[in-house]
Amino acid sequence: MSVLIVGSTALDSIKTPRAENPRLLGGSASHAAVAASFFAPVRLVGIVGADFPQKYLQLYRRHKVDLEGLQIASGKTFHWSGEYEVNMNNRRTLATELGVFETFTPRLPASYQDTPFVLLANIAPSLQHHVLNQMRRPKFVVADTMDLWLNIALPDLLKLIRRVDCFVLNDSEARQLTQEDNLITALKKIHKLGPKYVIIKKGEHGAILSTRNGGLFLSPAYPLPRVVDPTGAGDSFVGGMVGHLSAARGSIDLNLRRAMIYGSVVASFCCEGFGLKFTDRVTRPAIEARFKQLAKLTKF
Amino acid sequence: MSVLIVGSTALDSIKTPRAENPRLLGGSASHAAVAASFFAPVRLVGIVGADFPQKYLQLYRRHKVDLEGLQIASGKTFHWSGEYEVNMNNRRTLATELGVFETFTPRLPASYQDTPFVLLANIAPSLQHHVLNQMRRPKFVVADTMDLWLNIALPDLLKLIRRVDCFVLNDSEARQLTQEDNLITALKKIHKLGPKYVIIKKGEHGAILSTRNGGLFLSPAYPLPRVVDPTGAGDSFVGGMVGHLSAARGSIDLNLRRAMIYGSVVASFCCEGFGLKFTDRVTRPAIEARFKQLAKLTKF
């Protein structure tokens, strides 16, 4: 089944101690869409400016991403630039130029409104709402977020959390949202906000899935000897996860664990190159090989 | 088979925002010995002062810990006092009174010298050497350490690492030792220092086992909704691990993964009470139940 993905579509300029990489394809929706495309047909909702490079449209198309929902507006594409420290753990934003994103209103083409799986990748919660409002009756809705929205749009975000089946956030965001340091207790508090499934991403430490009935799954991260650029890893994780989920037969409960592992695998590839450079070239057999390796790495 | 454990035997005064707990039974050897005792007979090597409470000797005996190697010297027992912050992640030392530990020279009773499994729990590397020098031909030697010895006794520690089968340290110590931020790369560097097996403990994020041939195992930590006191969790982990290893049939390679899971389980119980209060009352069926739960929590 298809996956509809809304989020940011951006140009990222990423500086590390070793290299500068200007105007890479980035944004939560770009990473999530390419990650999901390995498993299922993807429908993209986003906006880019007139300056958006043709080669990036070609990249989307190479991954068979449906671009009917991608608005190309006059103006500049959202541009983020940031810098990583030597250890790749600390990132600081150098500049954020919203460009055409400033006035973005997602409009869903008629052909998108019946999409069964929806991923509301990281973007303002008001826009995530706006997309959901245009959907008919999606089978499964996942929303990701970031600390920015906890800081400046919490009421919108809380309303959104109530509307989704699965809410995804990282460990520090979970602590901020619940004022609770212990993640297991934080998960319980987040369920009270509405969603049946909650996933806390912990970067190199993997992720935890919690279901409302108290079930937990500890998902490992694929161990990498070298991280080139972790930008977009979290988006790749949710993208790969929802992509696999939409393609798998059987119940969500049954498939979510394996879907998270697939998400971890795509996220690991994402970390091995700048922007989408490495993910773009990944093959399905390479994904399956790492999936099997993760099974071996955790078996006891 | 039996396990010989050397390390510190101490009284810990632990302050948290909620409670003060003066003079609990603590020290790396105490935690490791009780943890190992659930799986195998334990022989303890350590020193306490004349002030050491009888009830703690009884605690050891209740867990069938052989105390022939425990010296009771005139003077005061090693006393550590520390304080945890609200989130239980940051600990600061308030006072360290070495007492009889200052002049401790481990002397192995003749009956200990053939012990097949040896755990050199956290203590000065010179003392770990001293114990190894008195052993005949142990089947398997595990050493744990702490940042203090990296700072003040690195040459001794490096010599020790060469002599052990399995070296255990935590993530920040691994980074400090190798000057390498990436843990997978750090593991490779530590193998070059000698040991066939290296384990990096990551606290609530579990542990990673690496074997010299490049094999990895990602061991989960048991998820706890409330951590009362993490003091001794790392010691419980290695104690439980070596205890199970010494009791299991078959090759080390085959058993080490399951042994780590048992170690994680005992460490989780350790975190649920101050000092050894909770671990002391744990039963083997409770350990088996958490072992099975961890299998379920990680299955995909």
Secondary structure, 3-state, chain B: CCEEEECCCEEEEEECCCCEEEEEEECHHHHHHHHHHCCCCEEEEEEEECCCCHHHHHHHHHCCEEEEEEEEECCCCCEEEEEECCCCCCEEEEEEECHHHHHCCCCCCHHHCCCCEEEECCCCHHHHHHHHHCCCCCCEEEEECCHHHHHHCHHHHHHHHHHCCEEEEEHHHHHHHHCCCCHHHHHHHHHCCCCCEEEEECHHHCEEEEECCCCEEEECCCCCCCCCCCCCHHHHHHHHHHHHHHHCCCCHHHHHHHHHHHHHHHHHHHHCCCCCHHHHCCCHHHHHHHHHHHHHHHCC
Among partner residues A181, A224, A261, which is closest to B184 by beta-carbon distance? A224
Instruction: Give all strands of the β-sheet with A91-97 in edge-to-edge order.
Output: A20-26, A10-15, A79-84, A91-97
pLDDT of residue A89: 67
In a mutational test of the B interface, the residue from A84, A260, A294, A298 whose CB has the highest number of chain B CBs within 10 Å is A298
Question: Are B185 and A297 in contact (CB < 8 Å)?
Answer: no
Is the entire prediction scored with pTM above 0.90?
yes
Residue B287's pLDDT is 98
Q: Which of A206, A227, A295 sits opposite B182 (nearest CB)?
A: A227
- Residue B2 half-sphere exposure toward CB, CA atoms < 13 A: 14
What digits encode the pLDDT tens for the residues A116-138? 999 999 999 999 999 999 999 99
Across the interface, do B182 and A261 touch by the CB < 8 Å criterion?
no
Q: Which residues of A touch B258 (CB under 8 A)?
A: 300
Q: Which residues of A touch B298 (CB under 8 A)?
A: 217-218, 220, 298
A16 band by pLDDT with thresholds 50, 70 and 90: confident
Test the A interface: residue of B171, B190, B229, B300 with most A CBs within 10 Å? B300
- Complex-level ipTM: 0.93
- Min Cα–Cα distance to chain A from B223, Å: 7
The predicted pLDDT at position B89 comes to 67
Q: Quote the percentage of chain B above a pLDDT of 90.
A: 93
A3 confidence band (pLDDT: 50, 70, 90): very high
Say if the Cβ atoms of A185 and B225 lie within 8 Å.
yes
Predicted confidence (pLDDT) per residue in A51-60, tens digit = 999 999 999 9
How far away is chain A from the Cα of B56, in angstroms, using its nearest Cα? 31
- Nearest chain A residue to B216, by CA: A297
Interface of B with A (CB under 8 A): 86-89, 181-185, 188, 202, 204-206, 208, 216-220, 223-227, 257-258, 260-261, 295, 297-300
- Above 80 in pLDDT, residue A299? yes
> For residue A221, what is the nearest residue in chain B, using CA coordinates?
B218
- Tell me whether residues A182 and B298 touch, CB distance under 8 A: no
Listed as ranges, residues in chain B with pLDDT below 70 are: 87-89
Chain B CB contacts of A87 under 8 Å are 181
Q: Where are the beta strands (DSSP E) in A130-215?
A: 140-144, 166-170, 197-201, 207-211
Residue A184 has its nearest CB partner, among B181, B220, B223, at B223
B4-34: pLDDT as tens digits: 999 999 999 998 887 889 999 999 999 999 9
pLDDT digits (tens, 9 = 90+) for B265-284: 999 999 999 999 999 999 99
Instruction: Give chain B positions within 8 Å (CB) of A257.
Output: 299-300
